């Protein structure tokens, strides 16, 4: 079983909530506030944001003989937009911390060092 090379010792702390993560989370919250704010504005002014969700909900209600109410009710495709924005930023944060979370096995690191030594001869 391969040991992990990037394992921090007990004296070193892994910081997952670093500056990069804080900035991304702040930008994500601002974008989501705009999406939710636009949804509430459109709802208060009785504006329609035509999307396919309403058609699908009508078809599902006809089949199940019941009404579907989403957890957060936003007009049109605003829920899809909010979900996509949140997933985009979650992917950036996880990608940024990928090696901190999973690390790189020692064997792979040693192999890559051996290969790169041979290529450095000019």
One DSSP character per residue, 77-110 reads THHHHHHHHHHHHHHHHHHHTHHHHH--BHHHHH
Task: State the pTM of this model.
Answer: 0.48
Indicate if the pLDDT at residue 1 is higher than 90.
Answer: no
Indicate if the pLDDT at residue 27 is higher than 60.
Answer: yes
pLDDT in tens, 37-92: 988 888 888 877 666 666 777 777 788 776 666 666 777 677 788 888 999 999 99
In degrees to the nearest 10, what's the CA dihedral of 30, 31, 32, 36?
100
> How far out from the chain centre does Cα 45 lie?
31
Q: How far is CA 27 from each of CA 15, 52, 79, 93, 102, rounded to the nearest angstrom?
A: 20, 28, 18, 12, 26
């Amino acid at each position: 079983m391969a040991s992990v090379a990037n394992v921090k010792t007990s004296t070193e702390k892994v910081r997952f909530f670093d500056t990069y993560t804080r900035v991304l989370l702040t930008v994500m919250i601002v974008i989501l506030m705009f999406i939710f704010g636009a949804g509430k504005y459109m709802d208060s002014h009785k504006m329609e944001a035509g999307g396919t969700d309403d058609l699908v909900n009508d078809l599902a209600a006809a089949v199940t003989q019941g009404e579907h109410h989403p957890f957060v009710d936003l007009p049109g495709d605003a829920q899809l937009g909010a979900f996509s924005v949140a997933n985009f930023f979650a992917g950036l944060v996880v990608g940024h911390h990928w090696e901190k979370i999973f690390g790189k096995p020692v064997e792979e690191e040693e192999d890559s060092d051996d290969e790169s030594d041979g290529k450095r001869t000019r």
